Amino acid sequence: MTDHDCVEFLHTVLPRLGLRWPGFRKVRGLVCKRLNRRLRELNVPDLRAYRAYLESHPDEWPVLDGCCRIPISRFYRDRGVFEHLEREVLPALAEDAAVRERRTLACWSACCASGEEPYTLAVLWRLRLRRRFPQVRLRVVATDIDTHLLERARTGCYRASSLKALPPELLAGAFARRAAQLCVRDEFRTIEFLHQDIRQATPEGEFDLVFCRNAVLTYFAPALQRPVLERVVARLRPGGALVIGIHEALPEGVTGLAPWPGARAIYRKFEPRAA
Ligand SMILES: C[S@@+](CC[C@H](N)C(=O)[O-])C[C@H]1O[C@@H](n2cnc3c(N)ncnc32)[C@H](O)[C@@H]1O
């Protein structure tokens, strides 16, 4: 299969999956490789034949959907975002929780891949912030549709390359070497990993901080982005913070959020107005 054939195929099938081509432009190599493997498994000669196969086998669409998931993540991804979270957002949220006599700061990492994002948060909190807010406990829920990635997340072991951006002191404090990998120490393994399709489900409860980065607003079709994001925002406590990817934008028509002052890709949910 040539790159051209693969791109043409993706242009036609992605909209049927509720996905958008621009998100896949740079990462199509990964998807095309998986498609090649799938064609071989089915003994289908080319993408034209595979299209015909899809039309006569509706069960194949979820398999194709699985081929179009991009698992790329890393610890401390977009350093500036985590610096801002540490300096301003998490302290503001923790102070707010303390003032309201709430003992838990609830966070949700949506589309968490192998756990790099929620563990980054847990490590940052425990090693840099917890001492300042001893009365507040961090609870992190992390969800993804991919059971293999969730399994890796629960295992909590990574290659050094995915930890490159993590400040050395956090790396030393939170990881132990095990053979060729670096594994999260037990005290950071407090994350609840849940298998969920964000198109259909969100975790229970209200959250002070939600990460929704590099999935919904990059790969989902515009018509799907808004309803999904609205359901995500509905899970945020008023005054809570939403973090999106630094190359992403909120879908048009989403209301109730204002940019967090001075921050990139962080928004705050409006507090209800006093009557
Ligand atoms: C590129 S990774 C983003 C990881 C992390 N949020 C980050 O920014 O580093 C995208 C993740 O979205 C997940 N995903 C894709 N579609 C999903 C869906 N419908 N429901 C839940 N997770 C989904 C994929 O399995 C993948 O782990």
Residue 19 Cα to ligand 1 middle (Å): 13
Say if residues 92 and 86 touch (Cβ distance below 8 Å): no
Strand 207-212, strand 104-110: pairing: parallel
What are the pLDDT digits (tens) for 25-77? 999 999 999 999 999 999 999 999 999 999 999 999 999 999 999 999 999 99
Q: Rounded to the nearest whole angstrom, what is the distance from the C-alpha of residue 196 to the centroid of ligand 1?
A: 10
Task: Give me the sheet containing 157-158, strands edge to edge.
Answer: 157-158, 181-184, 175-178
Give the closest residue (by CA) to ligand 1 atom 20: 197
202 C-beta closer than 6 A to ligand 1: no
pLDDT score recorded for residue 271: 78
Which one from 69, 126, 144, 208 is the annotated catalytic residue?
A: 144
Query: What residues does CATH 3.40.50.150 cover in the chain?
Result: 79-269
Segment 89-93 mean pLDDT: 97
Question: pLDDT digits over 94-127, tens only?
Answer: 999 999 999 999 999 999 999 999 999 999 999 9
- The response to whether residue 268 sits with its C-beta less than 6 Å from ligand 1 reads no
Q: Is 146 in the pocket of ligand 1 (CB under 6 A)?
A: yes
Report the distance separating Cα 40 and Cα 61, nearest Å. 17
pLDDT of residue 273: 67
Q: Give yes or no: 130 in active site.
A: no
Complete DSSP assignment for 97-145 = HHHTT--EEEEEEES-TTTHHHHHHHHHIIIIIGGG-TT-EEEEEEEES
Position 275 pLDDT exceeds 60: no
CA 275 / ligand 1 centre spacing (Å): 40
**Is the pTM above the cut of 0.85?**
yes
Q: Is 34 designated active site?
A: yes
What CATH superfamily classification does 79-269 receive?
Vaccinia Virus protein VP39 (3.40.50.150)
**Mean pLDDT along residues 182-207:** 97
What is each CA distance from 58 to 55, 61, 131, 148, in whole angstroms? 6, 6, 54, 23
- Each residue's pLDDT tens digit, 153-182: 999 999 999 999 999 999 999 999 999 999
**pLDDT at residue 116 in the model:** 98
Distance CA 241, CA 53 (A): 44
